[in-house]
Amino acid sequence: MKNSRRKFLRYFGLMTGGTLLSFDYASLHAAAGKSQARSSKNKMVLQFEPYILQLRHVFTIASGSRTTTPVMLTTITFDGITGYGEASMPPYLGESHATAQSFLAKVDLSRFSSPFLMDDILTYVDQIAPGNYAAKASIDIALHDLVGKLMQQPWHRIWGLNPGHTPDTSFTIGIDKPDMVEEKTRAASSFKILKIKLGGGNDKEMIRTVRSVTQVPLGVDVNQGWKDRNQALDMIHWLHEQGVVYIEQPLSKTAVDDIAWITGQSPVPVIADEALQTPADVNKVFGAYHGINIKLMKCGGLRAAYTMVNMARTLGLKVMIGCMTETSCAVTAAAQLSPMADWADLDGNLLISNDVFEGLKIVEGRVIIPDLPGIGVLKL
Amino acid sequence: MKNSRRKFLRYFGLMTGGTLLSFDYASLHAAAGKSQARSSKNKMVLQFEPYILQLRHVFTIASGSRTTTPVMLTTITFDGITGYGEASMPPYLGESHATAQSFLAKVDLSRFSSPFLMDDILTYVDQIAPGNYAAKASIDIALHDLVGKLMQQPWHRIWGLNPGHTPDTSFTIGIDKPDMVEEKTRAASSFKILKIKLGGGNDKEMIRTVRSVTQVPLGVDVNQGWKDRNQALDMIHWLHEQGVVYIEQPLSKTAVDDIAWITGQSPVPVIADEALQTPADVNKVFGAYHGINIKLMKCGGLRAAYTMVNMARTLGLKVMIGCMTETSCAVTAAAQLSPMADWADLDGNLLISNDVFEGLKIVEGRVIIPDLPGIGVLKL
């Protein structure tokens, strides 16, 4: 206990020769809600820098292949404390270093007197421009990290969640030739569930290859790759016999009636991914899918994601917490919510070779949230 | 600032002759998620006692009159810190001292190692028995108060809300004879909005009497008292001309189609009150009303209320935060959420003569949330 407390204090640079410098929360509170000019010391400062993630393997899904992912690393600093955030921007989603740079340059946090005004700040950021969800998430995550550190609490605890309830996470096997699929599946032997990308034209071969190596439960992510609802349902029945426990986005997100038809007859849960983005979309997919895949880069960050989880629970929808290829920063932020999820798909940091954060651990396939305040990461 | 910090510390009994005893948060965190036996010192203890609120005036709404309200006052104590809660049980809602006593006697908090496991605890409490929403709220509020105190933060700040955004609260004028309505309206001259109870058969007389005294905006609460949709719509048009800014529950909660018809044509927002109770009901009233009235005693406490506010925001529904006749305990808990509300109706403590808490203040008609951790109350 002592050690963990010392580590915590050292982390903040708050412990110097045994001296503990404490925050003046009363003055922070007094600042909240007032707009008077304050010294620059007590202004939030947003910084950001582009970075390129190197993927360990060529990553192929139904829509294409790539070997890198551009990200923007953000920090928000206030009163000597730094919160970390990240925007991950797979090219097919339309954001890029250029769009994120342009968006983030418009964000003026100096107009807010306190980071505790999260609702005001994130509403302001939302309204700067439409879209830009990854860029918005990079601010949302950094602000959550900062505020959690100021409160000296990790976010799962602020939300009242039990870190003992984190689910197993799946590890993703991209579309590939049998020898590579076999190799990747062997390398993933510590995971209790695998997510297999289908929709590339070799679906049964993919599954048979995985099954030649392991008998763990499988999730399947089609990324809108199937075209016909009858063939899709036949395939789902076959997949069910192979031990598949959910099917993600089997048809185009626009084929709502066909997906609702499949959902009505599927022996395994059908999960929406591309079909939903923000909290407002939860109601739209309700009735057509059994559950939703929530990703911080889709919805704009932890604030929206937390609302989506609560809406899904209220409506009886299953919840998956997913990610993009990301550093441990955004993946660990998402992990804070995972005690509320039915499934976690938090392997984005494992798919890259140049992570710049330390955060969540996967122990025997299960998500372990670090015992650190904020989103729970250390910058490497 | 210094004073407020000293007051805060004294409040916890943490300051003795200048010595500050700090919590060991690391060990609290280590406790979370484990079920091992712990010393009784670190067990949560729930206590409750019945109490009867004396109303300042006979309170008449469309469904009847009364002069008292039974409440149950609860405490949850952990590690020397006490969280306060309350169940308010107006008789027409079906709960009583007997039902609350019976429900609360079934609650075993000793099975949880830490109050930070709020999601587990409140889910367990929800599942003990159906209904009993006021009794459930009394635990939810006490647990929020306790956890906020352990985190040394008020709940509006934990939720990231700006205490500068609290709305004006309405003061409620019950159905009465003109001389009493006139007297009560004069006594409420500091409020910027009044809520007038209608549906008692003297609607126009009520409004004309209020208008003979004041020109402030009025809300109208019919408590399901009107029977015919055409007459209701005519009355709403007349009320609009009298400066009424919203209409609450004009017809029976079961008359969904008629209410949707009124909502489609009403010049002022139509708000659901009796028509909804829990988060699952938000979707049910969506489309039939412009907004919802959220009360802790209806939905089971702050956890459900916060979800309801976020769902309403997502769906574009207006939000009113209301209350029953309650002590300042439950009213102040509700006030923590009020920065997210379009309207507050937080006058329950003002309607009673034997409050046992000090909490929110109403200054020039506006809700002021106390600068104290937890739900923000002091026991008198």
Kindly give the confidence (pLDDT) of every residue in chain B, 380 residues in length, as a single tens digit, with 9 standing for 90 and above.
334 443 433 333 333 322 223 333 334 344 343 333 344 568 999 999 999 999 998 877 777 788 999 999 999 999 999 999 999 999 888 999 999 999 999 999 999 999 999 999 999 999 999 999 999 999 999 999 999 999 999 999 999 999 999 999 999 998 999 999 999 999 999 999 999 999 999 999 999 999 999 999 999 999 999 999 999 999 999 999 999 999 999 999 999 999 999 999 999 999 999 999 999 999 999 999 999 999 999 999 999 999 999 999 999 999 999 999 999 999 999 999 999 999 999 999 999 999 999 999 999 999 999 999 999 999 99
Which residues in chain A touch residue B341, judged by CB atoms under 8 angstroms apart?
none
Number of A/B CB contacts below 8 angstroms equals: 122
Assigned token pair, A126: 């939302």
Which residues in chain A touch residue B38, judged by CB atoms under 8 angstroms apart?
none
Q: Domain extents for chain A?
A: 42-152, 157-379
Nearest-CB residue to A157 (from B27, B29, B162) = B29
Helical pair B229-241 and B256-265, crossing angle rounded to 10 deg:
30
CA-CA-CA-CA torsion for A207, A212, A217, A222, nearest 10 degrees? -10
B residues 280-339 closer than 8 Å to A (CB): 280, 282-283, 286, 303, 307, 310-311, 314-315, 339
Which of A4-18, A71-85, A112-126, B35-49 is least confident?
A: A4-18
Task: Say yes or no: A119 contacts chain B, CB-CB below 8 A.
Answer: yes
Q: Decide: A168 and A141 in contact? Cβ < 8 Å.
A: no
Rounded CA gap, A290 and A319, in Å?
Answer: 9
Give the pairing of strands A244-248 and A270-272: parallel
Which residues in chain B touch residue A281, judged by CB atoms under 8 angstroms apart?
none
Residue A54 host element (H or E)? strand A45-61
Judge residue B4's burial from the number of C-beta atoms within 10 Å of its C-beta, 0-12 exposed, 13-18 middle, 19 or more buried.
middle
pTM: 0.88
Rounded CA gap, B190 and B180, in Å?
Answer: 18
Query: Which fold would CATH assign to domain A42-152?
Result: Enolase-like; domain 1 (3.30.390)
B residues 62-81 closer than 8 Å to A (CB): none
Task: Say yes or no: A371 contacts chain B, CB-CB below 8 A.
Answer: yes
A residues 156-175 closer than 8 Å to B (CB): 157-165
Q: Do B162 and A26 touch (CB under 8 A)?
A: no
How much is the pLDDT for B372? 97
Residue A149 distance to chain B (closest CA, Å): 12
Predicted complex: ipTM over 0.95: no
Task: Say yes or no: A11 contacts chain B, CB-CB below 8 A.
Answer: no
**Average pLDDT estimate for A236-257:** 97
Among residues A290, A287, A294, which one has the least CA distance to residue A308?
Answer: A294
How much is the pLDDT for A25? 36
B residues 76-105 closer than 8 Å to A (CB): none
Q: Do B162 and A117 touch (CB under 8 A)?
A: yes
Task: Say yes or no: A139 contacts chain B, CB-CB below 8 A.
Answer: no
How much is the pLDDT for B58? 81
CATH node for B2-153: 3.30.390.10
* B121: closest chain A residue by CA: A160
Residue A91 distance to chain B (closest CA, Å): 28
pLDDT exceeding 90 applies to what percent of chain A?
84
Identify the residue with better confidence: A101 or A41. Answer: A101
Residue A206 has pLDDT above 60, yes or no: yes
Same fold, A42-152 and A157-379: no
Residue A181 has pLDDT above 80, yes or no: yes
Q: Do A157 and B116 touch (CB under 8 A)?
A: yes
Rounded CA gap, A379 and A11, in Å?
Answer: 10
Range B157-379 has CATH code 3.20.20.120: yes
CA dist list (Å): B64 to B8, B67, B176: 43, 11, 12
Q: Do B151 and A147 touch (CB under 8 A)?
A: no
